Amino acid sequence: MSAKKEDPRAIRSKRLLKEAVISLLIETQSLQELTVQKVTAKAELNRATFYLHYLDMRDLLRSVVYDIYDELTQKLSPLLGAKRGNIEHLVTFLDYFYEHRKYLSVLFEEKGFQQKLHNFIVEFVEARREALNIESPKPVSSDIIAASILGILMWWIRYGKNYSSEYIAEQMSAWMITKP
């Protein structure tokens, strides 16, 4: 039995609604100012179309966040098997944050988004350790590494925009590889 194919009109409507949310986040720099009315007006769709696809604004935002994690997974998967010290894939990952910094900076303000991103990074760190067979007598906690990476990302998006992805990747790589 084949999976039911989604109607192209539904795909288009969802894309327009998501693009409208991102555009409004960039314009207003606030999640609290997002309303169904503003999003549908920006997307040039009616409210009925919105409610056909989403329960409420939280549901739409959840979908946008899932899309972000899907894209991050695509950016990070080549890093799983990359040799230590190879920063090309890390630069690609950081480029994603830099390209989307205007709305990610708003999402970073939400504790729920921060926690989900922290958990996402923890899972990646553990998967990378396993893929590279990294074992050490006193491994640094995945939570500590994830919190450090998240802190760097948040600082960079908010205050360090003048630094390139390459520079941040070099700094992170030097910090992660250096042994006491």
CA 48 to each of CA 6, 31, 44, 51: distance values in angstroms, whole numbers, following the listed order: 18, 22, 12, 5
Name the one residue in this structure whose structure tokens are 């390459």.
166
Tens digits of residue pLDDT in 22-40 = 999 999 999 999 999 999 9
**Measured CA angle at 115 (ends 110, 116), to 5 deg:** 100
Structural domains in the chain plus CATH codes: 1-54 (1.10.10.60), 62-177 (1.10.357)
Q: What are phi and psi of 87, to 5 degrees?
A: -100, 0
What are the b/e assignments for 34-71, b being 16+ CB within 10 Å? beeebbbebbebeeebbeebbeebeebbebbbeebeee
What is the pLDDT confidence band of residue 60, given thresholds at 50, 70 and 90? Answer: very high
CB neighbours of residue 140 within 10 Å = 11
What is the pLDDT confidence band of residue 3, given thresholds at 50, 70 and 90? Answer: low
Q: What is the pLDDT of residue 4?
A: 72
Q: What is the pLDDT of residue 138?
A: 65
Residue 84 confidence (pLDDT) above 90? no
Name the one residue in this structure whose structure tokens are 């990378």.
128
Whole-prediction pTM value? 0.80
Residue 66 confidence (pLDDT) above 90? yes
Q: What is the pLDDT of residue 177?
A: 62
Mean pLDDT for 92-101 is 91
